[in-house]
Amino acid sequence: MEGATLVAPELTLEVGRMNYPVIKGASYALIQATNLLVAQGSTQTLERAKNPDSEYLKQLPKHLRSFQDAINYGPNQAYIGNILPDQLKEIPKPWYENSPQGEAQGKYGEIVGEDFFYGLLKICDSFDLVLLEKTFVAEIKEKIAAHPLFASQADALDEGDDLAEINRRVEEFGAEGLHWQGKLVGCVKRAHDSDVNLNAHVMLENLAVKASGVLALKHLIAKSGIAPEEIEYIIETSEEACGDINQRGGGNFAKSIGELCACDSATGSDVRGFCAAPAHGLVQAAALVQAGIYKNVVVVAGGATAKLGMNGKDHVAKGLPVLEDMLGAFAILISENDGLNPVFRTDIIGRHNIGRGSAPQAVMEALVTDPLDNAGLKITDIDKFAVEMQTPEITVPAGAGDVPTANYKMIAALGVKRGDIQRQQLADFVEKHGMPGFAPTQGHIPSGVPFIGHARDLILAGSMQRVMIVGKGSLFLGRMTNLFDGISFVIEANPGKTAVDAGDTESVKRVVAEAMREVAQRLLEN
């Protein structure tokens, strides 16, 4: 009897091991948005309200970089997949002065200019809130019509509107102006006369999330080869929230993005968790796929205009270019195990639980060492850790330090404490298992996920076996709790087996059923 009770569970466990979901694709997009930085960035918005004659606001335009400079910037090239993050070590610092010629098109996506993005805002506008000037529309329509991902939607740009009407909307009705090359070329209208949740500033903020998310998802569909109608569920994980006075964060960005990408078979919802939301969303996506509820789930996040120029005062004061001029977006496809793509180890999940406390060591133990302990792994069994991947040239001048390096040093210190490495190996560990930060400071964008595209390719190439993605969030920003947040997971090389490989599904079911019948019979006999 003792042996009989183990047959079915063992078989079920073996099938489960072969049923991990996989990372089937990843895409990344950047939008240089210098005018939105000035108009929408929270630092600039607050400064303008408090001190409209601010010396900072006067000096700011002198510190905005060109579109080509944004393309060339090494971290941006790493973000869209043209170079590996570790290759940034080969570029002399400061990167903004020494980066070589880059390309707007990347392995995982692209970098687009603000004029093109204004066109995307119009394409994504379902309520006639975006007005674009006629001459500007004629120019941008040509670019959109020539873009392989948006050519079919170029007709959404009508003939445009008169500049006089756009001016009137801005001056008399509080519309948010859209500027290009020193000129007013459009505006975003308010969506309600009195609801502050639908004012022009918020509508532009939300449309930017939607449009950048659409850009990332279109690239994911094109590069992964999945048909839009095969996507069954979409999880959107940005930091903004859309809704009206009755439900300020009701959503749904996910379905609005899917609609523009012809994902007609998909439903979806929004997940919010400050910077950690993408990692939460990916764990949920993996669970949905492994449970068999959906075959293909996409996690997508658009960019946050509020974060543009967030540290601009420090950059201007130190004579630096304002490097926070990029809206970031990404999309990741989680699918059923195909025996090829890297698996999402749903049995190795780290979580910062409520009772753990917010001390840095406690957070890192919860997210890194606890799940590794449960899996019987050392920190050295992880080839690369993807933590908060903010570009250090943005954060160091602002006094926040080199965030990724600080995280890697903490992980290394825990490794010494555990006996996984020796104290003299600390620096080598950081060098080998870490990487330079390369993501824009968009809050949710840097939090682990920028490396997933690289990780997938490196694992498929056999250069890596196992990667840990660590997402962290600052819940205290919402003034509801002082708690910190975080969640982590491991991506691993696919052993090349699936549940189907082990035997067809019906056969597995029959074996399990027979084993359970034997158990029941022996119980009855006793």
Q: What is the tens place of the pLDDT at every residue in 176-229?
A: 999 999 999 999 999 999 999 999 999 999 999 999 999 999 999 999 999 999
Q: Which of 354-363, 407-416, 496-505 is predicted with the least confidence, judged by mean pLDDT?
A: 496-505
pLDDT of residue 23: 98
Residue type, 211: A
E strand spans, 163-266: 176-180, 183-188, 233-236
351 contacts 279 by C-beta, under 8 angstroms? no
pLDDT of residue 358: 84
**% of the chain exceeding 70 in pLDDT:** 91
Residue 304 CA to residue 477 CA, distance in Å, equals 16
The CA dihedral of 124, 453, 277, 369, to the nearest 10 degrees, is 180
Residue 292 CA, distance from chain mean position: 24
Q: What is the tens place of the pLDDT at every residue in 19-77?
A: 999 999 999 999 999 999 999 999 999 999 999 999 999 999 999 999 999 999 999 99
Q: What is the tens place of the pLDDT at every residue in 447-495?
A: 999 999 999 999 999 999 999 999 999 999 999 999 989 999 999 999 9
The position carrying tokens 């967030």 is 310
**% of the chain exceeding 90 in pLDDT:** 89
pLDDT of residue 3: 47
pLDDT of residue 78: 98
pLDDT of residue 240: 93
Phi and psi at residue 381, in whole multiples of 5°? -80, -10
pLDDT of residue 366: 96
Residue 361 CA to residue 371 CA, distance in Å, equals 15
pLDDT of residue 1: 41
- Helices and strands: H and E segment counts in the chain: 21, 13
**What's the CA angle centered on 279, arms 484 and 70, to 5 degrees?**
100
Handedness of CA 208, 211, 213, 219 (dihedral sign): negative
Instruction: Work out the number of other CB atoms within 10 angstroms of the CB of residue 506.
Output: 8
Specify the 3-state DSSP secondary structure of 254: helix
The position carrying tokens 């920190």 is 379
Instruction: With cut-offs at 50, 70 and 90, classify the pLDDT of residue 2.
Output: very low
pLDDT of residue 14: 52
Domain ranges of the chain: 4-15+502-525, 338-492
442 contacts 213 by C-beta, under 8 angstroms? no
343 contacts 491 by C-beta, under 8 angstroms? yes
Higher model confidence: residue 26 or residue 517? 26
Residue 406 CA to residue 434 CA, distance in Å, equals 10
pLDDT of residue 9: 47
pLDDT of residue 513: 65
Residue type, 336: E
Return the bridge partners of 105, or none: 110
Q: Would the pLDDT of 12 be above 70?
A: no
Residue 122 CA to residue 143 CA, distance in Å, equals 14
- The pTM (predicted TM-score) of the whole model is 0.93
Instruction: With cut-offs at 50, 70 and 90, classify the pLDDT of residue 8.
Output: very low
pLDDT of residue 357: 85
Instruction: With cut-offs at 50, 70 and 90, classify the pLDDT of residue 151.
Output: very high
Q: Would the pLDDT of 378 be above 80?
A: yes
213 contacts 300 by C-beta, under 8 angstroms? yes
Strands 485-492 and 267-270 come out as unpaired
Residue 341 CA to residue 331 CA, distance in Å, equals 16
Residue 398 CA, distance from chain mean position: 23
Residue 441 CA to residue 447 CA, distance in Å, equals 10
Residue 259 CA to residue 253 CA, distance in Å, equals 10
Return the bridge partners of 132, or none: 186
Tell me whether the omega of the peptide bond preceding residue 94 falls within 30 degrees of 0, making it cis: yes
3-state secondary structure 97-121: HHCCCCCCECCCEEEECHHHHHHHH
The mean pLDDT of 134-160, rounded to a whole number, is: 96
437 contacts 404 by C-beta, under 8 angstroms? yes
CATH code 3.30.70 for 338-492: no
Instruction: With cut-offs at 50, 70 and 90, classify the pLDDT of residue 116.
Output: very high
pLDDT of residue 498: 74
Higher model confidence: residue 284 or residue 524? 284
Residue 93 CA to residue 98 CA, distance in Å, equals 7
pLDDT of residue 497: 76
Instruction: Work out the number of other CB atoms within 10 angstroms of the CB of residue 86.
Output: 16
pLDDT of residue 526: 60
Closest CA to 370 of 352, 343, 346: 352
Q: Would the pLDDT of 523 be above 70?
A: no
Residue type, 1: M
4 contacts 514 by C-beta, under 8 angstroms? no
pLDDT of residue 192: 97
pLDDT of residue 505: 53
Closest CA to 452 of 402, 387, 400, 505: 387
User: What is the DSSP-derived secondary structure letter of residue 60?
Assistant: G
**Taking all residues of the chain, what is their mean pLDDT, rounded to a whole number?**
93
Residue 99 CA to residue 84 CA, distance in Å, equals 14
Strands of the 183-188 sheet, one edge to the other = 130-132, 183-188, 176-180
Instruction: With cut-offs at 50, 70 and 90, classify the pLDDT of residue 16.
Output: low
Instruction: With cut-offs at 50, 70 and 90, classify the pLDDT of residue 5.
Output: very low
Instruction: With cut-offs at 50, 70 and 90, classify the pLDDT of residue 374.
Output: very high
Look up residue 103 and give its two tokens: 């390309």
Residue 449 CA to residue 41 CA, distance in Å, equals 23
Phi and psi at residue 506, in whole multiples of 5°? -65, -40
Look up residue 104 and give its two tokens: 């707007």
pLDDT of residue 265: 98
Higher model confidence: residue 253 or residue 498? 253
The position carrying tokens 């948010």 is 176
282 contacts 298 by C-beta, under 8 angstroms? no
